[in-house]
């Protein structure tokens, strides 16, 4: 394995609809590994050729028709394809692999949770909380395995992770119950939030802006929904973490932007 390794995570919101900007990212940033969420395509018709052409010959897909879906595309060898059903209904929301150096990469797409933060009137919100509870059970049993947990967590946990803490307190993705359960997930294996390690709060670090905004950059009503966490032994090897914010303005953009961590293994 190379001395340095870069890992990118991106909720692409349909890999086929946005294949051009995926290629733009790969040519511009050239991460060694790309973790995609919300690919929205079954494995049989995943657009594998562009990735192979650019050197991403190691591919692990967990697709689903029209919804969800995750994938890991890599220039370096990856092994041990795992798919955890944290949603407990068969949805394609996780794929995990192991690198040659033993480090695990777990790529996850946490449910958005609907619009109303009440599991009694909105079952989707309950599903989201239950999903993270299952992640906590998994995380608590990891037993010091070197691991990177990345993807779209669909929660902005800190006050500085949203454009207005006060106005978003009752908005799904920043409610106290979601922030509390994500904090329990982080504590369950003492995960290092590498974004906030390199860019401590209250630094602006948004990864998502709604499509509803007339001018997303001018209004800048962002949230930090995309994360990269890791065990301390892996975090010790991290040398940088950056966001590709210009991607939000590329042609037919996703509402999320890529996040990239570089390591010196």
Q: Residue 179: name the closest of 158, 160, 162, 203 by CA.
A: 158
| Half-sphere exposure for 54 (CA within 13 Å, toward CB) | 22
Give pLDDT, residue 182: 98
Burial 35-62 (b: 16+ CB within 10 A, else e): bbbbbbbebeebeeeebeebebebbbbb
Cα angle at 263 between 13 and 16, to 5 degrees?
20
Q: Residue 256: name the closest of 228, 229, 223 by CA.
A: 223
Cis omega (within 30 of 0) for bond into 202: yes
Could you give the C-alpha distances from 90 to 36, 150, 154, 194, 223, in angstroms and in order? 18, 20, 19, 30, 28
Q: Residue 109: name the closest of 163, 40, 57, 183 by CA.
A: 40
Looking at the structure, give the CATH architecture of the domain made up of residues 4-264: 4-Layer Sandwich (3.60)
Model pTM greater than 0.95?
A: yes
Listing DSSP states for 162-193 in one string gives BS-HHHHTTSTTS-HHHHHHHHHHHHHTT-EE
Give pLDDT, residue 143: 86
| Nearest-angstrom CA–CA distance, 30 and 24 | 9
For the chain, which residues score pLDDT lower than 70?
1-2
pLDDT in tens, 186-239: 999 999 999 999 999 999 999 999 999 999 999 999 999 999 999 999 999 999
Could you give the C-alpha distances from 133 to 140, 208, 228, in angstroms and in order? 11, 24, 18
Give pLDDT, residue 1: 47
pLDDT in tens, 146-169: 999 999 999 999 999 999 999 999
Contact 247, 258 (CB under 8 A): yes
Q: Residue 154: name the closest of 120, 189, 114 by CA.
A: 114
List, in sequence order, every residue forming a beta bridge with 222; answer none if it has no partner. Answer: 209
First-to-last alpha carbon distance for the chain, in angstroms, is 8
Give pLDDT, residue 66: 87
């Amino acid at each position: 394995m190379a001395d340095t390794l870069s890992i990118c995570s991106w909720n692409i919101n349909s890999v086929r609809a946005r294949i051009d900007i995926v290629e733009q990212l790969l040519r511009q940033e050239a991460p060694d590994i790309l973790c995609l969420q919300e690919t929205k395509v079954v494995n049989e018709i995943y657009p594998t050729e562009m990735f192979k052409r650019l050197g991403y010959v190691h591919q692990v897909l967990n697709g689903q028709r029209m919804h969800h879906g995750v994938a890991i595309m890599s220039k370096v060898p990856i092994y041990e394809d795992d798919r955890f059903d944290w949603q407990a209904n068969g949805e394609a929301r996780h794929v995990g692999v192991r690198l040659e150096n033993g480090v695990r990469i777990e790529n996850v797409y946490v449910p958005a949770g609907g619009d109303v933060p009440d599991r009694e009137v909105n079952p989707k919100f309950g599903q989201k909380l239950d999903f993270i509870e299952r992640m906590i059970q998994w995380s608590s049993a990891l037993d010091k395995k070197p691991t990177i947990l990345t993807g779209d967590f669909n929660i902005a946990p800190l006050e500085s992770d949203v454009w207005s803490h006060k106005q978003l307190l009752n908005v799904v993705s920043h409610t106290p119950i979601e922030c509390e359960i994500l904090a329990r997930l982080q504590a369950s294996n003492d995960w290092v939030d590498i974004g906030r390690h390199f860019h401590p709060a209250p630094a602006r670090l948004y990864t998502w802006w709604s499509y509803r905004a007339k001018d997303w950059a001018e209004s800048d009503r962002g949230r930090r929904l995309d994360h990269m966490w890791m065990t301390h032994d892996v975090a010790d090897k991290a040398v940088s973490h950056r966001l590709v914010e210009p991607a939000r303005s590329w042609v037919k953009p996703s509402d999320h932007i890529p996040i990239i961590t570089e390591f010196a293994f």
